[in-house]
Amino acid sequence: MLPIRYVVLVALVVWLGGMVAALFGDWLRPLSLLTAACGGIILVGLFVMKFVGPPPHGFIPRATLTVLMLLLGIGSAVYRTVTTELTAVNLALGLVLLLWYVRE
């Protein structure tokens, strides 16, 4: 279970790092592939942790936050006029999700 948790944590850190880089530079604006890959890894990892071992603490809020972050990432890819605002909200939600990993 520990390797899956680390893979999910690395995916979250890469996703957050990509969002921070996108806020401060225009060269990383199209993050849709990174968003989909990292969000998918996090969701699959959460479900694997839930069904293989004891479910992680706050499974439903974590999965909900991940899906919401994916939707915001897709929204920022589709609506390019509000990309900075959606990315900032997405980053804040990602930091909340990171808090669960810090507490474990």
**Residue 92 is part of which domain span?**
2-103
Domain count of the chain? 1
Tens-place pLDDT, residues 31-81: 667 888 999 999 999 999 999 988 788 889 999 999 999 888 887 777 766
Tens-place pLDDT, residues 9-33: 999 999 888 888 777 766 555 566 7
77 with 31: CB under 8 angstroms?
yes
Q: Left (φ > 0), alpha (ψ -120 to 50) or beta: where does 54 sit? A: beta
For the chain, report the end-to-end CA distance as a whole number of angstroms: 13
Question: How far is Cα 40 from Cα 33, in angstroms, rounded to an integer?
Answer: 10
